[in-house]
Structure 1
Amino acid sequence: MHDSTGIPASFSSGERQTDEKATVGRSGQSVFMSVYRTKLASQCRFITVTWCKNLLLHGLSVSVQGPNSDEHYQCKVEMKPWHFWRKQGSMHFTVDGRRVDVVWDIKAAKFNGETEPQSDYYVAIVCEEEVVLVLGDSKKDAYRKTGCRPSLIDPILVSRREHVFGKKKFSTKVRLDEKGNFHGISIECNNSAGFDPRMEIKVDGKLAINVKHLQWKFRGNEFINLGKNGVEVYWDVHDWLFGSSPRHGLFIFKPISSAVAVAPPGPTTSVSTASSPNLEGLLMNPGSRNDDHSSFCLFLHAWKVE
């Protein structure tokens, strides 16, 4: 493995994670986080890959779960926009006595306006001569660069989490599973003074959910069809209507396999001032139910800015 190429970066091991939502709310930067479960250093662990973007830099960080759930081994890379020729390299840290290398090449990556690269890149995590996780569509280049074999265990995508900012409309483009197509998701909320607030959720430009009287239905869930499978959509926009700045709404998109989605449930809503049990359960344990497609969740945090 090669050493770092000198991209401005820092890393720390055993670092306690900070309050994610508070940090994002203060910074106002777009964040896209993917969590995978795989075997690394002889244990099944969670690996979190985070992309962040603001006006001055594009950031990439990789975090590996330590022996205790509140401990992580982490490396961070900050890529300044004027360092076009230095967007590749490697770093390493130690997990339970074993070396873990993070190798990346995004010099030709196409972002298409998104926080996460959309094509022509790779990010590889290597441990004990195995590529335990590789992201991007340039996987052959990653194996050639690292000189290591693919892991015999396929990593499982547990969740994606994205933070977006807007005044009343929020948009993103994501895959609801690792091998599926990209889908455009847009959320628009009209709560201007003198109007009965309402919210629309569109998928691929088509209206999927229309919530009227939002002041009474600020928490709820509905089932929508998307291709061969269905998606259960949960929302909690209490803070949009009644909170103080910074305010964010939470949306969860949970794909349901066609076998489970034969008889979709009807829409439900909640006006309780307590947190929604469904939302809290998914947030606390997004991948606990199964090791298949149905265990995945997309968490979308939509921050309102004035």
Structure 2
Amino acid sequence: YASHGGFIVSSWEIVPYLFLGLVAGASAPLFLRLLRASETIFARLPLPFALRLALGGLVVGAISVALPEVWGNGSSVISDMLHNNWDAHTVALLLVAKLLATAATVGSGAVGGVFTPTLFVGAAMGLLFEQGYHTLWPQMVFDARPYALVGMGSFLAATTHAPLMAIIMLFEMTLDYDIVLPLMLACVTAYYTATSLDTTSVYSEALKQRLGRTPPQSPALRGCIADVLKPHPQTIARAAPLVDIARAFARSQNLHLYVTDADDRFEGTISLMDIKDFFEEPYPSTLVTAFDLMHGELPLLTPQMSLNAAAMSFLSVLTMLSWHCPC
């Protein structure tokens, strides 16, 4: 979005940007409650999911017949707001319509998202705030478009609880250094105001709902390890040299080899990636053995263990490996 400057006409204009942050921060929890209320209303309807989607589309379609600007994510309308003069009545009408359309979309479960509608609401809020402030003190404000941009950033910071992201994103949109000071002030004010009223953000609420649902058990995870256990895995002696390990990988075409002792008892595993670095050298070492390369700290699984328990054991190993990964 192109910026036309004029963010700070006088030092006193810091004050309205501060109040804009307060308004955005107080409005964000109401916006999130509207979305949650819409989800609750649609969930209580005795309709299958497909019909709930159709009902949400019907509501959005009925609104867009009278106000086609609410259709889509609203980016084109935001751009028009920033390049043309809009009267307060039209902006307020579009704001209410966009809120209803977004609530119907999110509540019905349709794919749409709330990121760009959040920018739309913030831009409209900034324009309305500027026009109201201009009515009270006409000598303090000269251009409404800076307030639309700062309104976008502050409302985004308030709904996502990510003020730094909002500041960087709006700066990248405008590439105007003049926006940084009022944007930082409004975004930080909006963030602290919103978090003091409601600790949930637009994404944390959705994540909480997903984690709160107990997913049905996958058919692939039903049963025990004995049902999927493959007999006679590819093994290699602990004293086997590097060349024998490479030949075993080439012969078996597996990604892992199982290291055993003289009594054929399991001691650890070797991954194909463990030997890759050795063969990048011009003269691979002849002193390295399977015992030097194997990984012995692995979860102990039994044939009677359920597949779900085994999956959780592997998940703990992946977590441990990622924690110790030097990259």
Q: Which band: TM-score by shorter chain?
A: under 0.3
- Give the structure with the higher percent helix: 2
- TM-score, normalization by structure 1: 0.22
- TM-score, normalization by structure 2: 0.21
Determine which structure has greater relative contact order: mean sequence separation of CA pairs < 8 Å that are 6+ residues apart, divided by chain length.
2
- Give the structure with the higher percent strand: 1
